[in-house]
Chain A
Amino acid sequence: GAVVSQHPSWVICKSGTSVKIECRSLDFQATTMFWYRQFPKQSLMLMATSNEGSKATYEQGVEKDKFLINHASLTLSTLTVTSAHPEDSSFYICSALVGGHRQPQHFGDGTRLSIL
């Protein structure tokens, strides 16, 4: 149980295009979803917290107009990287939470984004 599906797993695109990443909780309804960014050999950096039907809460230093988050339902959140540039290349990981802070977050397998 508690499976989170993230799609696509790998995307390569040209500079200036927008890329959408989907995060779905397959067998549960998520209270909250989170988006992280991970640089090579580094830890995860929280980008934003997303609740269904409300605006995402972005961490300090994360551009909300650059990284658009939509949380349309209790099982789906999307991250759109708008007008992507090479510096946006990274590994993006989503997670989903049902319940409070004593429950674990369940992670997707990540999306490797490469901007040429």
Chain B
Amino acid sequence: GDSVTQMEGPVTLSEEAFLTINCTYTATGYPSLFWYVQYPGEGLQLLLKATKADDKGSNKGFEATYRKETTSFHLEKGSVQVSDSAVYFCALSELAGNKLTFGGGTRVLVKP
């Protein structure tokens, strides 16, 4: 079956540091890939998405590129802020059932 693996946290950074969260996946078909962010006590918000190989999703300074050859979708941000402290989830969706398969989540803490 499908699966998503992302690096375990917590990841602790100083403000303005570079952030990378690794995400790799296995899928039987040709999935769409997503990054969601969850702030404490809230639901998930879509951060960015990519639907085909070599697509780059970007939003709020975050970027991720759909790499089919390495089955990866790593999230990056060049300069993090305290407000970026949250849990980040990598996810994939396949045609069958439109279900999302989530990674385990990575907690990021940005210190001033």
| Interface status of A89 (Cβ within 8 A of chain B) | no
0/1 interface trace, chain B 25-54, chain A, CB 8 Å (1 if under): 000000110101000011111100101000
Smallest CB gap from B10: residue in A: A41
Q: Which residues of the partner chain A approach B89 to less than 8 Å between Cβ atoms? A: 43-44
A110-B98 CB under 8 A given contacts A42-B104, A43-B103, A43-B104 = no
Q: Which residues of the partner chain A approach B105 to less than 8 Å between Cβ atoms? A: 41-43
Q: Which residues from 82 to 103 on chain B have a C-beta closer than 8 Å to any C-beta of chain A?
A: 89, 93-95, 97-100, 102-103
CB distance from B85 to the nearest CB of A (A): 15
Q: Which residues of the partner chain B approach A101 to less than 8 Å between Cβ atoms? A: 31-32, 93-95, 98
A100-B98 CB under 8 A given contacts A43-B89, A43-B103 = yes
Cα of A42 to Cα of B46 in the assembled complex, Å? 18
Q: Which residues of the partner chain B approach A41 to less than 8 Å between Cβ atoms? A: 105, 107
Smallest CB gap from A9: residue in B: B41
CB distance from B60 to the nearest CB of A (A): 15
A107-B44 CB under 8 A given contacts A32-B98, A43-B105 = yes
Q: Which residues of the partner chain A approach B42 to less than 8 Å between Cβ atoms? A: 109-110
Cα of A6 to Cα of B42 in the assembled complex, Å? 11
| Interface status of A84 (Cβ within 8 A of chain B) | no
Assess whether A43 is in contact with B46, with CB atoms less than 8 Å apart: no
Q: Which residues of the partner chain B approach A109 to less than 8 Å between Cβ atoms? A: 42-43
**Closest 9 A/B residue pairs (Cβ):** A107-B43, A107-B44, A101-B93, A109-B43, A104-B46, A102-B51, A110-B43, A101-B98, A102-B32
Besides A102-B93, A108-B43, 9 other CB < 8 A contacts? A31-B98, A43-B105, A101-B93, A104-B46, A104-B49, A105-B46, A105-B100, A107-B45, A110-B43
User: Which residue numbers of A lie inside 8 Å of B, CB to CB?
Assistant: 4, 6, 31-32, 34, 41-44, 46, 49, 57, 93, 95, 97, 100-102, 104-110, 112
